[in-house]
Amino acid sequence: MKSLKLWAMVGLAAVVFGAAGCKKQAPEELKPPVIHSLRFEPGTAVPGRELRIVPDYSTLKPGQKVYLSYRWFRDGELLKDYTTDTLPGAEVRAGAEIEAEVTAACCENLKSTLRSGKLKVPEAEFQFTKIFIDPMMPNKDDTLSAQYECQNCAGIKMHYRWFINDQEVKDSDQPELSGPEHGLKPGDMVAMEISPEPLFPATFFKALPVKIMARLPEVQPGTRIWVENGVVYFQFRARDPEGGAINYELVSAPPGAVLDQQGLVSWNLPRDFAGDVEFRVKARTGFGRETVIGAKTTISRP
């Protein structure tokens, strides 16, 4: 029984010693890690780009385990949501002053803390030389994309707003807008605005709006030219991809040629005529989109 009690006491002593941890170390080991300096990466802040803080520290014993913790401040206020060595670009705002605080610890009560100096974020000077929607003459089946050229924008996240007929599209913070997904139709006006992260959401830059165009008439099978019984015929067949009617117009033809509204041109050959015969016909949709097609044949005499 005595040996059992002695074993229990030894076990208890081991638990107490383990809980005490570094408090039982030799006096010369009871020193916290030393943080010598802090540096920001990059060394110059850029609005909208992330920052990283890198501590230079040492310990009394080489290889000693060190635990690092971080706090970030903007204009003197603690940013509670950020406790790693990196501050996201969204928090690096133009004109702000950024500070970081690093704590190095090896045991519960053995730690040291160092706070950085203030890093000034310069005012943003974004210069957009071009902002436009591509394609500039879209149809309802196109995917429209935001295009821009900008100085001092490299690496900066952009935010977007899209509008259809002056109504803002919900959840449109993306560089593209799908025509089919948003039910675009000929005549709709689409606009886009863009905002660099450091200026978002206060400032947006606008692109010129674009108009959704109807598609061009499509040439159909059966378009041909031929000669029959002294008459030259040219059949132009076209289809409106928007589903409307097609109107035909004779652009050029020999005098006396006739065009009907089915796109058929006919011309009675003069007696003893020999040479080239050429027709040009225009097909127009109800939206005013036009396609011109021509055909030529050569009449020879024995």
pLDDT in tens, 39-88: 999 998 888 789 999 999 988 877 788 899 999 999 999 999 999 999 99
127-211 classified as CATH 3.40.1280.10: no
Kindly report the pTM of this predicted structure: 0.54
Q: Same CATH fold, 127-211 and 32-120?
A: yes
Burial class (CB in 10 A: 0-12, 13-18, 19+), 254: middle
Structure-token pair, residue 159: 């935010």
* CA neighbours closer than 13 Å in the CB half-sphere of residue 122: 8
Give me the phi and psi of 284, to 5 degrees please. -130, 135
pLDDT in tens, 205-252: 999 999 999 999 999 998 899 999 999 999 999 999 999 999 999 999
Q: What percent of the chain has pLDDT over 90?
A: 68
Report the alpha-carbon distance of residue 35 to residue 104 in Å, rounded: 7
- pLDDT for residue 15: 30
pLDDT in tens, 77-131: 999 999 999 999 888 888 899 999 999 998 767 889 999 999 999 887 788 999 9
Topology of the domain covering 218-299 = Immunoglobulin-like (2.60.40)
CB atoms within 10 A of CB 66: 16
CATH architecture group of domain 32-120: Sandwich (2.60)
The single-letter code of the amino acid at 184 is L
The domain locations on the chain are: 32-120, 127-211, 218-299
The single-letter code of the amino acid at 302 is P
